[in-house]
Amino acid sequence: MPILDDLPFIDLYVRLDKKEQAYFRSNQRASVASQFVSPEFESTIERFQAAVIDKLKDHGDGAITFDNVRCRLARQHMNDGSSWVCARRINTKIPDIEKLGLPSVIVNHMVTLGKRDGLIVISGATGHGKTTTAVGLLGYYLKTYGGTAITIEDPCEFMLSGRHGTAGNCYQVEVEKEEDWALGLKKALRWAPRYIYVGEIRTPKAAEQLLRAATTGHLVITTVHAGAMEEALMGIIFLAEQAMGSGAYNMLATGLTCLVNQALTEAGPVLKYLYTEENAPGDPVRSLIRENKIGMLSTYVDRAAARLQAAAGISSQTTMGGRR
């Protein structure tokens, strides 16, 4: 009998309230086609359905490990009365940031940021590898520079808890309610962590706590659902401003270390990258954020690319996308 690990899916769609044929999206790069799960997996899907129902209970989202496969779960109740779950397959092995196919000139710069404080934002659309990149960075920092990390997630996806290298250690916190994001961040600061990873910013108080952490000696990594870099920054400000007023602009300007917008294509990952200079309050990127001119940041994306390429001795015509 086949097990779930034998099914080559990245997203699996299973009805929970009754038996119905399941669908899946292949794990082939950039695949969007929806396929029927073949009949040979019928009993496997039935076992998985029962396990998901037991795992979620009254929760809409969660995570499960089943047949050696870890999945992030998102349940939806449809207008026809049916209940479905989308199971996103997670590669539980901590990703190697240098082996993700990201542009080497950007990776070579990002890995040095583990020595700095501030905020690293990884943005992009759903399913475009934001979490993988963020976790890859955190794993590299822990192994290379050491220190204590705390993650705040819903759900915990990659299993990061434990020792990393000879001097790094990670603790993972899983939140269940919206108000737990801010509380989790507040408690995390009492542990004096070197690194904090926040799976997503969902509430105004969490956004405020995140910016305060990024400006008080910690390196904070977070992911944001956004189609563009400007949207990511405005999304953070929109939430933070509800908790702390117009001071959110100055806090973000002070704390921002770098911003990555990531998209997966058939040719590989394509990144747009923006960073600030260390110990430079007058950095032009910071100034634009303070002055609420975030729409003008695209000019500095091109300048950042040119500076990185020049430092690496690469032609200015070289793309900032992934491997071709």
Same-domain check for residues 191 and 116: yes
Q: Is the pLDDT of residue 175 over 90?
A: no
Same-domain check for residues 50 and 115: no
Same-domain check for residues 18 and 106: no
pLDDT band at 200, cuts 50/70/90?
confident
Q: Which residue has the higher pLDDT, 252 or 186?
A: 252
Predicted confidence (pLDDT) per residue in 282-321, tens digit: 999 999 999 999 988 887 787 777 788 777 765 433 334 4
Q: Is the pLDDT of residue 69 over 50?
A: yes
The CATH number for 298's domain is 3.40.50.300
Same-domain check for residues 8 and 141: no
State which of 49, 73, 90 marks the end of a domain.
Answer: 90
Same-domain check for residues 84 and 109: no
Q: Is the pLDDT of residue 50 over 50?
A: yes
pLDDT at 315: 43
Question: 199 — phi, psi (to 5°)?
Answer: -60, -30
Q: How far apart are CA 274 and CA 169, in angstroms?
A: 28
72-86, 123-137, 188-202, 293-307: range with lowest mean pLDDT: 293-307
Predicted confidence (pLDDT) per residue in 231-270, tens digit: 999 999 999 999 999 999 999 999 999 999 999 887 788 8
Partners of residue 43 on adjacent β-strands? none
pLDDT at 214: 96
Same-domain check for residues 85 and 102: no
Q: Cβ distance 290 to 279 under 8 Å?
A: no
State which of 35, 60, 90 marks the end of a domain.
Answer: 90
What pTM was estimated for this model as a whole? Answer: 0.82
- Mean pLDDT, the chain, whole residue set: 89
Amino acid, single-letter form, for residue 268: G
Full domain range(s) for residue 52: 4-90
Same-domain check for residues 77 and 101: no
Q: Cβ distance 119 to 222 under 8 Å?
A: yes
Q: Which residue has the higher pLDDT, 47 or 159?
A: 47
**How many structural domains does the chain have?**
2
Q: Is the pLDDT of residue 90 over 80?
A: yes
Q: How far apart are CA 161 and CA 300, in angstroms?
A: 37
> What beta strand segments (E) does 105-145 contain?
118-124
Instruction: Calculate what percentage of the chain has a pLDDT beyond 90.
Output: 66
Question: 57 — phi, psi (to 5°)?
Answer: 50, -110
Same-domain check for residues 178 and 54: no
